[in-house]
Amino acid sequence: MDRDAFLARIRSASASLSASSDPGILVPEQPPGDLVTRFCRELEAVDGVPHRAVDTDDALRIVLELMEGHRWFMARGPLPVPGLAGRLIHDGYRIMNSDVPPDPAARIEHQLAYKTLEVGITAADAALAESGSIVVTSGRESPRMASLIPETHIALVRTDQIYPSLSHFLAERSEVATRSSNMVVITGPSRTGDIEQTLTLGVHGPRQVHVVLIPFS
């Protein structure tokens, strides 16, 4: 249907409704308390694993430990731990190219290689204390797949990036939602309860979500 005709039909249909003004947003009040502690508790409640690093060196150590036994990883840069990706490659881990080629057949062939991908390492744009969520956006060096396709997702986030809740975050930083083609709020590992509500982790997305918290210095 022609756009104008479609909209005209909607316009005349809604004519009898009272036109209230836009009520605007409401940011729910949050209980007081330390955001880091609350975030860690809530992440655990959704079966994610928080790691509190004391500094970036410690964060590096934590990531290296989590990488043990794995081989292929994809990284979303720039990471808040300088030299992390380089160190991993130096240690013999293989990094997966994340640039999808434009040709349809080549794209499919490229993506099929993702089946060997084991770990995705991403820098989160924010973390949300209330729900134990992390916010990840796509971008030039930020493939969407890094937080989606591997069985293990390791997210790095600075403690000053923790917001009380999604509403707080979007009230303060709504531009993050649209500055790239994709923003995703991830709350724990992929899950389903479709079969008799038996909770199962890792349906299509990662089975394990590790969040490494790095103090802001």
- Within 59-98, the residues that bind another protein by CB under 8 A are 98
User: How would you classify residue 197: left for phi > 0, otherwise alpha for psi between -120 and 50, otherwise beta?
Assistant: left
Q: Which of 56, 122, 138, 161 binds another protein (CB under 8 A)?
A: 138
Q: Which is nearer to another protein, 148 or 155 (CB)?
A: 148
Is 190:133 a contact under the CB 8 Å cutoff? no
Nearer to another protein, 22 or 91 (CB): 22
**Degrees, nearest 5: CA angle 63-57-95:** 40
Among 75, 134, 148, 212, binds another protein (CB under 8 A): 148
Find the shortest distance in angstroms from Cβ 85 to another protein.
Answer: 15
35, 129 contact by CB (below 8 A):
yes
SS3 142: strand
Binding test (CB under 8 A) with another protein, winner from 54, 55, 83, 174: 174
User: What DSSP designation does 178 have?
Assistant: T
- Tell which positions 177-196 bind another protein, by CB under 8 A: 177-178, 180-196
Cα(83)–Cα(96) distance, rounded to whole angstroms?
A: 17
Asked if 147 contacts 184 with a C-beta cutoff of 8 angstroms, the reply is yes
**155 scored as a contact of another protein (CB under 8 A):** no
First to last CA, the chain: 56
CB-wise, 92 or 195, nearer to another protein?
Answer: 195
- Which 108-127 residues touch another protein, going by CB under 8 A? 108, 111-112, 114-115
Beta bridge mates, 78: none
Is 217 among the residues that bind another protein (CB under 8 A)? no
Residue among 49 and 185 whose Cβ is closer to another protein: 185
Cβ–Cβ under 8 Å, residues 40 and 209: no
> Which of 33-41, 65-73, 84-92, 175-183 is the region at the interface with another protein (rule: CB under 8 A)?
175-183
Cβ nearer to another protein, comparing 56 with 208 = 208
Least Å from the CB of residue 157 to another protein? 16
Which amino acid does the sequence have at 188?
G
